Structure 1
Amino acid sequence: MEPDTEATYADYVRRSWPSLVRAAVFLGARPHEAEDLAQTTLVRCYTGWGRVSSAENRDAYVYRMLLNCLRDVRRTRWWKDRQHDVALDGPRTAEPDATDRVAVADAVHRALGGLSKPNREVVVLRYFVQLTERQTAEVLGIPAGTVKSRLSRALAHLAADDHLLDLTGGTR
């Protein structure tokens, strides 16, 4: 890679790393797995930087790569044999003044976990990654109307989710 191109790639990595990791977490990966997925995605970006940088919508192209990496990992035998109820990397300690943020983050993760995989993907890409409906459709390879209908169903499900209702003090 030429020095100018490599500098452009490095700048892209610095800007996109946090949102790629965050998107992977919200798609259901554990934090250390999310970092691995983001790294794998960015390695694939490096090897195909010509295609990535010339893509009409670079972010949609890269988030599609992230989803493909996640799906590849989930197809492996290791993933299928993994225990889902094992605690994450040991106990988590939060600063006393951050308890509300921790409670909100936990409730959001639990609520997103209750969505079907296609609906969770749409919500994460649309609201957490902040792609447009058109970009989300491009990433997922579905029509924009399908994005809208999945969002509608997902938001209705989230509105009635007990984890989120506990935060607001609401009732069903």
Structure 2
Amino acid sequence: RALEFLDRMGGDSRIRMMPAVAAAVRFRNSGDAVVTRMRTADGEWLVLRAGRLDGRGAAGRVVVTLEPAHPAQIVALVTDLYRLTTREAEVLGHVLACETRAEIGQRMFISPYTVQDHLKSIYAKLGVNSRQELVAHLFFAHHLPHFGAPVGPDGSFTGTARSEQNP
């Protein structure tokens, strides 16, 4: 399946391998597990991980895996992509769970006015003006490209969209 993901990166085959090679080199140099994200040419977010395959220290083999980003990871991606603060990311998660300002405030132990301040900051960073625009923006940018694809038990897409399977 990793080869399928790499093929969907587009471009020259040597260039497609660069993120995986870079992650492996970064792991080899630091010794710390590497987790990074990348996006396929058709818009799917992937999580790339590099770590130790065996217990032979720095001389040991490195494994690199690619997997589709799960819904919770998409929120983390959006957080990083738009440079949201920790509190803004928390508010975003609650907004995506369809909670009201009052409910978010109760859960986060802040006033609804503070929630609104966080929302204004999120809107400014994403270039939207309302909750509806926020959700629509995230839907069209991160979900719609996969609409119609089978969904796995964890809520992530497991294959190609139906319209792409049966042209």
TM superposition score normalised by structure 1: 0.34
Structure number, greater radius of gyration: 2
Which structure ranks higher in relative contact order (CA pairs < 8 Å, sequence separation ≥ 6)? Answer: 1
